[in-house]
Chains A and B, each alone.
Chain A
Amino acid sequence: MTTEHDTAAPPVKGGAAPGRPPAGASAEAAKKRARLSRRWQRDMRWSPYAFVSPFFLLFMAFGLFPLIYTGWASLHQVELTAPTDMTWVGMKNYTRIFDDDFFWNAAKNTLTIGIISTVPQLLMAMGLAHILNYKLRASTFYRVVMLAPYATSIAAASLVFVLLFGRDYGMINWVLGLVGIDNIDWQNDHWASQLAVSSIVIWRWTGYNALIYLAAMQAIPQDLYESAALDGASRWRQFLHVTLPSLRPTILFTVIVSTIGASQLFGEPLLFDANKGASGGSQHQFQTLGLYLYEQGWVNQHLGRASAIAWTMFLILIVIGVINSVISRRLRASS
């Protein structure tokens, strides 16, 4: 408090007093004004911190502290049954990750499921947005319908998909059976299961991304299309040479958001498991990193190992983020 007072004081002495000639105004009024001015300055200086403090307090309590504590726990052997009882093991939890087949299997699954779900999702979203960008009857209705999956809960959606993808009594296999395709074991076959999990993600997020694209498309000036049409460009050429370049920042945004979403994939594979465990299928065929982390921490109760996995995931995400920003900078430079 004293420093606050000191720093606030000098300008008052130098500024306010000399400017006013010692006219009839009493010294008391000047003093009062000086006090108010000091208060005002203190207010200006410190109030903003008070205003933003709730966020930072919350962030420290629920973001920063857990982050650091997780890092600390990752250097120990800790069990969920006695979280305060820590044994120092140094980097062991990290070094073991290098030859932890289950971790790398989960990393690979996260990558492949990420690709299978993100690429078709964004392509379909782009197509849908392009169609909806034409003048359509009941366009609001279509937009609401597209966003509906986004508004449903992951749990409810995943459970319905589990039924649809059932091996013996599922609707999808029934339809495939009508065209002569044998029952596919959607939950146990490696690629089929990854495809099924991806389809839940695609179903849920396509509409969301389509709306973002649509918003960006509507911001493209109409005269660009007009002049392209005057130059004899077909609809397809207009899409390629007017729409896509204008959407570049938006596409980049959706790619980044989808990548983050894909790397955190958890709820869908957890609920898709036929055995209701956290191992992502009998042969870990669709266990993602998020699921593996959960399995180690909450099912197997190894908090230290789970913490190390969490931090490794964090580091991997940072690397992906750096690559992303390098690519986007390149793209921006080339345009």
Chain B
Amino acid sequence: MRAARTTTARRALAIAAVASLGAGLLAGCADDGGDDSSSSSGDSSGKTTITLGLFGTQGFKEAGLYKEYEKLNPDIKIEENVTERNENYYPALVNHLTTNSGLQDVQAIEVGNIAEVVNTQADKFVDMSKVEGVKKENWLDWKWQQGATKDGQAVGLGTDIGPMAICYRKDLFEKAGLPTDREEVGKLWAGDWSKLVDAGEDYKKKAPSGTTFMDSPGGLLNAILSSESEKFYDASGKVIYKDNPAVKGAFDLTAKAAEEGLVQSQTQFQPAWDQTIANSKFASVVCPPWMLGYLKGKSQPDAAGKWDVAAAPKSGNWGGTFLGVPKSGKHVEEAQKLVAWLTAPEQQAKLFAVQGSFPSAPGAYKLPEVTGAKNSMTGDAPIGDIFAKAAADIPAQVIGPKDQIIQQGLTDNGVVLVTQGKSAKDAWETATKTIDNNLDQ
């Protein structure tokens, strides 16, 4: 009898063990939506929690916008989940969208990915143009178009843009015998990128030792390409990068600058590039407003005030974000209201004052936060007005789903090679071969 009892006990134990293991397994497999009851009904105080999925530093929190909104709407609580790099954020976002799970109430989308999201994932997002208080005219037209489908659904509302100018070191320009006044500097190359390269040649003749005219081939190529209305795709959505003379022209001009040693052999935003900022190794860099913040973060304190900002040969846009609300979110309506509020001109202006993210709503350009903006790197240069002027001239560019892959190929597998001694022709071949292989499905 005793033996029988122990076997039963043992078996009961075994069953319990297997059952609990199995339960654990199932619980592990259950999708994230399973536990929404705990957060949707809010905490004990009855607040609704809206979550934002963001990448990089969007600055909403830093600018105090969440606190302000929570004050205006006492029953709302805002939380953000931030992934540092968009390269990691975006694949996860696509994954969540295609499986319709794990999505936050609000998702940020980078401008490099917006075309792909609009083309392939629009049905997963609510139409933001129908939200109360959202008016198309509030945004720069091209910014609105980037986030909208052909039938007018606004997949995402624009937050910031990146109108480009040229930031230059007054002290280095002076030593090299170039003008230092921002108007005169702008006139050196107004209207034509090749004049910028000519100015670089002049700089090189009397360059302070160890410095180059520009920071990197990638930065220059990006600037030229961004000022074109058509680069990698035509309006019908066909890939034309190889046959587009504008692309080949931009590539060859950058390659020329690289061959002549006018740019450093660096890749932007890498540690070695950061060190060239800290050591004042270059005299100019193509800069959208947010670049000033980056320069400040990487410079030695004595570089403050030595920079100035001149207009670029042609205006272009670099960077920017959209906020979209996935249909499968838990608080779609509240999230829509929050996004409409965050992207309104007043909030965009506040964001610029704190974070340097330039507003995509022209209404903000007249607000004191923008007109009176100063940056410690650029002394008393009226950066708000300079960038607002650049923003007005940005062409409505055709953007395609694989823009990022193509440009990365042209840069990392292309012009960078020229700085390492390859010929422009070889570099173009390596780049196009890589890109074609990467695009081929």
Q: Determine if chain A interacts with chain B.
A: yes
A274 & B272 in contact (Cβ 8 Å cutoff): yes
Task: Tell which of B11, B18, B98, B276 touches A82, judged by Cβ atoms closer than 8 Å.
Answer: B98
Produce 1/0 per residue, A137-175, CB < 8 A to B: 000000000000000000000000011001111000000
| Interface-lining segment among A234-242, A277-285, A318-326 | A277-285
Q: Which residues of B contact A51 (CB under 8 A)?
A: 14, 18
B34 at the A/B interface (Cβ < 8 Å)? no
Tell me, in angstroms, the Cα distance from A299 to B402 when the chains sit together. 10
Question: What total count of A-B pairs have CB within 8 Å?
Answer: 96
B439 at the A/B interface (Cβ < 8 Å)? yes
Q: Which residues of B contact A61 (CB under 8 A)?
A: 25, 29
Q: Smallest Cβ distance from A53 to chain B, in angstroms?
A: 7
B116 at the A/B interface (Cβ < 8 Å)? yes
Tell me, in angstroms, the Cα distance from A19 to B275 when the chains sit together. 91
Q: Which residues of B contact A301 (CB under 8 A)?
A: 94
B98 & A81 in contact (Cβ 8 Å cutoff): yes
Tell me, in angstroms, the Cα distance from A284 to B440 when the chains sit together. 18
Tell me, in angstroms, the Cα distance from A54 to B276 when the chains sit together. 55
Produce 1/0 per residue, A298-326, CB < 8 A to B: 11111011000000000000000000000
A162 & B271 in contact (Cβ 8 Å cutoff): yes
Given known A54-B21, A274-B270, contact A188–B7 (CB-CB < 8 A): no
A199 at the A/B interface (Cβ < 8 Å)? no
Instruction: Tell me whether chain B's interface is mostly helix, strand or loop, or mixed.
Output: helix
Q: Which residues of B contact A295 (CB under 8 A)?
A: 438
A227 at the A/B interface (Cβ < 8 Å)? no
A81 & B7 in contact (Cβ 8 Å cutoff): no
A82 & B120 in contact (Cβ 8 Å cutoff): yes
Q: Smallest Cβ distance from A183 to chain B, in angstroms?
A: 11
A275 at the A/B interface (Cβ < 8 Å)? yes
A168 & B417 in contact (Cβ 8 Å cutoff): no
Given A47-B14, A77-B441, 9 more pairs with CB closer than 8 A: A40-B7, A50-B15, A54-B21, A82-B98, A83-B99, A274-B270, A275-B267, A279-B413, A302-B440
CB within 8 Å of A: which residues of B? 4, 7, 11, 14-15, 18, 21-22, 25, 29, 87, 91, 94-95, 98-99, 116, 120-121, 267, 269-272, 275-276, 405, 408, 411-413, 416-417, 420, 430, 433-434, 437-441
CB within 8 Å of B: which residues of A? 36, 39-40, 43, 47, 50-51, 53-54, 57-58, 61, 77, 79-84, 100-102, 162-163, 166-169, 185, 188, 274-277, 279, 282-284, 295-296, 298-302, 304-305
Q: Closest 3 A-B residue pairs measured CB to CB?
A: A275-B412, A81-B120, A300-B438
